Amino acid sequence: MSRPRKYTPELENIEIELLLEGVAQHYGFEFQEYANAPLRRRIWQTIRREKVRTISGLQEKLLHDYSAMERFLAALSERGSPNSPAFYVTFRSEVVPLLRTYPFVRIWHAGCTSARELYTLAIVLHEEGLYDKSTIYATDVNEQSLKRVSDGVFPLAAVAEYTALYRDSGGKEAFTDYFSGGGRSGIFDEGLKRNIVFGQHNLATDSSFNEFNTILCRNVLSAYNEGVQVRAHKVLYDSLALFGILGLGPRESISASPTENCYAELDAEHRLYRKIR
């Protein structure tokens, strides 16, 4: 469904403002921190999904149907997985040796909406002999997204894709060792969840909650406006131990951070940085 012909940029802006104001007043959710282009894209995607015709129609549905509101929240928190097996190859070669030097490893996976990304990380730690001394804190602003990821369920139709990602990420065993299947779904092995702590956290409003040896915040910051990106970078910096590793997404850069000079590039191509001050 394309935008109705009667929509002008001015009318679209008015209706989006009214939608966001209505949601804020009724539910208390504020979306001003989102960048304009991604927010508009998610709104129109939700209009198609909810089978309404206009932004005003979406507003009415969201205000009177909380299940629709939950789906809208989930849509806003969806972020395309970076899906970069080369990132994990580099993680194994550049980050894992550094993590071996710690008696205990704390990793923050911020903006965790992808089961594939989270459990790939858990598998890497397991195969490198680090999982038993590691804790992964998986957080996102949306509880429904966290629930989906914590369930660890994925469509069996995606097994070939997941197997290729595992192999190309430097996998040392067989991907089939890490999940069980039944019906149309697969589920990641419970052992991979043993050292994962799930929790709600909003980079736009919440503060640091622990000190970490590694933080992965990939394909998350680009959804926010510039002001929130600056704030989020400060939270990430405050949460990272000295000489800890920060991993960003392929479209993100440390140059957006006010603490840019406090990092050294560990691998520029895969957006891995080490905190040096």
User: Which residue is associated with the tokens 């960048």?
Assistant: 35
The candidate with the shortest Cα–Cα distance to 142, out of 21, 31, 268, 272, is: 31
User: Which residue is associated with the tokens 């909406």?
Assistant: 113
Q: Is 170 left (phi over 0), alpha (psi -120 to 50) or beta?
A: left
Q: Which domains does the chain have, with CATH numbers?
A: 9-77 (no CATH), 85-275 (3.40.50.150)
The candidate with the shortest Cα–Cα distance to 105, out of 234, 195, 30, is: 195
User: Which residue is associated with the tokens 């001003």?
Assistant: 32
Which residues sit opposite 217 in a β-bridge? 248
CA R_g for the chain: 20
The three-state secondary structure class of 219 is coil
Contact status, residue 273 vs residue 95, Cβ threshold 8 Å: no
The candidate with the shortest Cα–Cα distance to 118, out of 131, 132, 136, is: 136
Q: pLDDT per position in the chain (277 positions), as tens?
A: 455 557 788 899 899 999 989 988 998 777 777 778 888 888 999 999 999 999 999 999 999 999 898 888 877 766 655 558 999 999 999 999 999 999 999 999 999 988 889 999 999 999 999 999 999 999 998 888 899 899 999 888 888 888 998 999 999 999 999 999 877 899 999 999 999 999 999 898 899 999 999 999 998 888 888 888 999 999 999 999 999 999 999 888 888 788 999 999 999 999 999 999 9
Contact status, residue 133 vs residue 103, Cβ threshold 8 Å: yes
Task: Provide DSSP, 202-261.
Answer: -TTT----S-EEEEEE-S-GGGB-HHHHHHHHHHHHHHEEEEEEEEE-TT--GGGSTTGG
Q: What is the pTM of this model?
A: 0.83
Contact status, residue 263 vs residue 253, Cβ threshold 8 Å: no
